[in-house]
Amino acid sequence: MLIYLNGDWLDPEDAKVSVLDRAFLFGDGVYETLRTYDRNIVAIWDHLDRLRNSANGLGIDVPDPSHLVKMIEKGVDEIGDDDVYIRIIVTRGNPPFTMKVERNVPNIVMLFERVSELRGKINYEEGVKVSLSRIRKIPPESFDPRIKSIGQPDRIMARLEMEPDDYEAIMLTVKGLVAEGTMSTIFMVKNGILITPSLETGILDGITRKYVIKLAREKGIKVEERFVEVKELFECDEIFLTHTSGGIVPVGIFENGRKMVGEVTKSILKDFKDFVISEGR
């Protein structure tokens, strides 16, 4: 792993921020996750735009994005692998210790690691195991889901109750609708139709999600973005997850019931990498 911290390139054991950093004290910061496919940094401007919007939502300043692009490219080159995971973290920094929220010089951190070192083994042929969480998502009336905040207590609590062989936990809204996973968005297939919770459900506007929807429509697959009831997950034909580091992750077991890694999932999985490299420039 390689770390970029406020202009310096460091090994993990040498990368340190103050205990007075507001991300440590209050979870006061935002982040964004990117990756490369075959050394192509995909959807980089989508991610940097979302990072800026998240930071603006919390009143945190973000450096010039062209500078961030240069640092991302340098980090990827230093890792020297085809598939690299990148996480950008922007905190409010470490002003005097107080609950008062003010604009301040931010701390900028980037983590670079090989994707294979982080995500573990994903069984793309048979799918992963996924469960439903009892923890409900923080509602959008309490916190804007478009902001990728460092502070995510609901997601942490949901992951704490996962079984050891669970890849992911699916969270519901306070009204009991299907929302998203702790680190992913969710799609299901019923009678050849691709269905995913709408943004109005109160979920993150996922970038991988966006490209999956675009790819599916270009392939002639009907897509529905709408409110999704829990029973539909049990009754559907296929389920897959999307997130940056894993891409398209088929689900083979949902709540101890078998799911087929079917033709729609396989079709999207087969073409996704080339599509996002081409489209996400």
Spell 32-46 as b/e; 16+ CB within 10 A means b: bbbbbbeebbbbbeb
The confidence score (pLDDT) of residue 167 equals 95
The confidence score (pLDDT) of residue 119 equals 58
Strands (E), 6-149: 8-10, 29-37, 40-41, 84-91, 107-114, 128-136
The confidence score (pLDDT) of residue 222 equals 98
Pairing status of strand 193-197 against strand 223-226: parallel
The confidence score (pLDDT) of residue 211 equals 97
Residues near 99 by beta carbon (within 8 Å), at least 6 away in sequence? 26
Is the overall model pTM greater than 0.85, yes or no?
A: yes
Domains identified in the chain and CATH numbers? 2-117 (3.30.470.10), 128-279 (3.20.10.10)
* Rounded-to-integer distance, Cα 57 and Cα 79, Å: 32
* Rounded-to-integer distance, Cα 151 and Cα 21, Å: 14
CB atoms within 10 A of CB 100: 7
The confidence score (pLDDT) of residue 99 equals 78
The confidence score (pLDDT) of residue 94 equals 87
Ranges of the chain with pLDDT below 70: 118-120
The confidence score (pLDDT) of residue 96 equals 76
The confidence score (pLDDT) of residue 120 equals 62
The confidence score (pLDDT) of residue 117 equals 77
The confidence score (pLDDT) of residue 226 equals 98
3-state secondary structure of 14: helix
